[in-house]
Structure 1
Amino acid sequence: MKEDKAPMTARDAIEGRVAVRRFMPGPVPLDVVRDILRTASHAPSGANLQPWRVYVVAGATKAALCAQVETAHRHHAEAHAEEYPYYPDAGLEPYASRKRQFGQVFYGALGIQPDDVQGRARQTARNFRFFDAPVGMVFTIDRRLAQGSWLDYGMFLQNVMLAARACGLDTCPQVSIARFHKVLRCCLAIPDDELVLCGMSLGYADTSAPELAIRQSRLPVDAFASFQGFDAAAA
């Protein structure tokens, strides 16, 4: 008799979450997507402002959107730019070294060499198809809101990814697609008073993807946290 699998704990969901960049073609039911977003909406926000706005696409609508974004990326990339800076200056340490290490591990798992410019470009371009996931999401925020609401939004995005894990689904948060906010606005009727933050792929992970065999390193707790006021007995 087959034993029931133990339910996923919060720790399982957090530590098991990875950015999946290869998905199975099977559809995700609308009610499942709705339930993920309903759960995610329990994220805290200052004074309950709930600053999130989500545009969800699938099927023919997603295909048409991706075609438009891919065309812009292929032929008019120089005419598009993000609405806000995401990464720090290229040489800022220790972040520049961490970014290089990420690239070495990730592209190495895909067999893409450091000098393979075209190979890296092909992988980057897959962002604009939502990595072939059955569902794509675009997240926006009222551009009048302050930094506190951006902090709240990060907790909402994390909730989306963890709620997806609890449903047996995986995600990939994507800032790259936000560069083409002009195209997204046109296709999804996003008003000008909303700033495009990022996108996210949602679907069932293709577990044969070679990059899933690796895990990016995490700093030990003592490298980023200090502890004060704990006596020796409590420690």
Structure 2
Amino acid sequence: MTKKNTTEVAKVNNHIVNWLKNYATTAKVNGFVIGISGGVDSALTSTLCAQTGLQVVCVEMPIHQHKDHVSRGREHIEQLKSRFPNVSNIETDLTPIFETFKSQVPADFEESKLQLTLANTRARLRMTTLYYHAGVHGLLVAGTGNKVEDFGVGFYTKYGDGGVDISPIADLMKSEVFALATYLKVPESILKAQPSDGLFGDEKTDEQQLGASYDELEWAMLVLEHNKSIENFTEREKEVFEIYQRLNRANQHKMNPIPVCKINKI
């Protein structure tokens, strides 16, 4: 990373931290609560929140969680607590709740649809848990979605990890997330790990689910934003561009406001 790039990253860091602090102060809340997954987005978000000096509660919410996700998340939390005295943590094991939920709903459906629905259920249980901790401590739920996920391909669960009060990194591309996380010394184990939403209890990566890497999706997002010609695309570029457009169209219901049926006054 060049000196110029380091300076730019530092400015972005300071801008987000000041924005977080000002927002929390105006809202008259004590700080932030963040779900820690063992991934770079939640690690970065919690580090940004910690720099405000306000109360930060990091919450682990395992549901049959893969051991690597758990170990990375705990490594990050311990590092963060050693650096910032305003950071605390709590674990809320949601596995028993998830299993109870599964026992109370029908399960005789197509396997792929069932697994995806249950994955989204995990995210929604976690959202409910975060808002519990936010409520009792007087905190805001800080979202961990980046720009490609939130506004490009809609790779998040509606009313799950998409259910937040504020989104401090939602205007950062994934490459910018990694640059800022590197600058802030997020643990190397997290920086090197393949991004994964951890909603299936295994190491299934985001790239395996999406069909393209974040670098590729970021490229497609910029192509569309700048109305670049696709005539000279390679076959892989065409494939990625089609993946991006398909996901973007399919997930508009997440990105747009809830439709409201307007009644004309007579």
Question: TM-score range with shorter-chain normalisation?
Answer: under 0.3
Where relative contact order (Cα < 8 A, 6+ residues apart) is larger, the structure is 1
Hey, which of these two has a bigger chunk of strand by percent? 1
Hey, which of these two has a bigger chunk of helix by percent? 2
Normalised by the size of structure 2, how large is the TM-score? 0.24
